[in-house]
Amino acid sequence: MKYRFSSKEVRDQLYDYNFDAGVLPEGHPTKVDIWDETLRDGEQSPGVYLTQEDKITIAKALDEIGVPLVAVGFPAVSQTELETVKAITNEGYTTSKILAIARPRKGDIDACIQANVDEIVIFMPTSQLMMTILKVTPEKEIEVIRNMITYAKDHGLTVNWVSEDASRAQLAHLNNVHRAAVESGVKRIVLGDTVGVLTPSSVTYLVQKTKEAIKGINGSVGLGVHMHNDFGLAVANSVEAVLHGAKFPHTCVNGYGERAGNAAFEEVVMNLERLGINTGIKLDKLFELSQLVEKLFCLPLNMHKPVVGPFSFSHESGLHVNAILTHPLTYEPINPKVVGRRRKFYLGKLSGSGAIINALSEKLKLINMDFPKEVLSEIVQKVKEHQEKAPKDDIRKIYDRIKEDLAKITSGVSDKEFYEIVREIVGSELKEYLKDKKNKNLMNP
């Protein structure tokens, strides 16, 4: 389609503050390695269950799109999980290295060894609250970290360290943890904003303090970040961390994950790419990957989800449609073709008459039909009336039914199902327990 203005003419008239002097930090990374957590943290989305086949399918798709690091699970959690991780690892990949997580325990590390993963990710909470719950002192934690990283390395594993709840840890202790991990020989350390409380400003501060703490110990150790989205800042925080030196941002496709989710893979990638930071990701496959993961997770996306949502390249407003027909850059910051999408024009009550007439005229010419403007204007009026007269009660009924169905597929185990499982396992022993309890209550009113 020929537009009124060329891309160069449009760009010459648009100002980009992102590249003003002093906006981007000097010496920021020009290339990053995406570390994807869709198959690990993403699967922790409430109500989500992935089969071994599902996980292998997603792992292969992540490899195909160009993700260098893929965390696929927690082998120590069960024999089934260990077998699944091992099956994923044994598939063989062109781009991706397969990672699995472990607590700093020999049993967890041994499970990762059995699963044949390329690298291990050892994690432990670092905030005082979490250490208190685990009944571990700061000194004991440092000792455990050193011992277990050494144990993993002695068994031939490449080790990564994740400071869980780093965003709420005392800085002095956090620095000691990172120094201990680096001195013990980890390849990367990761700052975990486990409950999503950081802001771009505090991310900058924490990244800089972490870099200062390990400076001079081992300059080749990489820095990563794991951001949660409880306040809607996971993507912004991830991008800010990269701009200040974190080369391994964690992501989840479609932003899936615990509670409000994690930094969305497609959003982090597109933000970094538009700032000139190479992610190595095949952008034209972003939408295809998103749809695959959405289908296997059985978690429908928000219609307005950036980059991959159904409405993210859709237009109804007449002013917008007319401008888009002049040149897409007027109201589209991303070319939909770049991310494997196509733009859509919706005809409705907010559509401008001129835009609809132009669109109809072009559409009808394709089938060798040409009508006077008066006829097209009448068609336009009918289009608008059709939406305005649409029975809202019917729309609400459909909406309510969809919400009910969504609640069913994300509910997990219901109370009824839970108690049925208890009865199945406990059986007659439960009846005896309840009988004894009743008799005791009668004896002790």
So where are the chain's domains? 31-297, 314-392, 414-445
Q: What is the CATH architecture of 31-297?
A: Alpha-Beta Barrel (3.20)
pLDDT attached to residue 253: 98
pLDDT attached to residue 368: 60
Distance CA 280, CA 277 (A): 9
pLDDT attached to residue 186: 98
Q: Give the residue from 287, 302, 266, 300 showing the smallest Cα distance to 341.
A: 287
pLDDT attached to residue 12: 86
Read off the pTM: 0.85
What averages of pLDDT result for each successive group of 10 residues across the chain (445 residues)?
75 90 94 98 91 97 98 96 97 96 98 97 97 96 98 97 98 98 98 98 98 92 98 98 98 96 98 97 97 95 92 67 64 85 67 56 57 69 65 78 77 69 70 60 52
pLDDT attached to residue 213: 96
Distance CA 271, CA 339 (A): 13
Instruction: Tokens 């969504």: give the residue.
Output: 406
* Contact status, residue 272 vs residue 238, Cβ threshold 8 Å: no
pLDDT attached to residue 313: 80
Which of left, alpha, beta for 205 (phi over 0: left; psi -120 to 50: alpha)?
Answer: alpha
Q: Give the residue from 28, 37, 31 showing the smallest Cα distance to 69.
A: 37
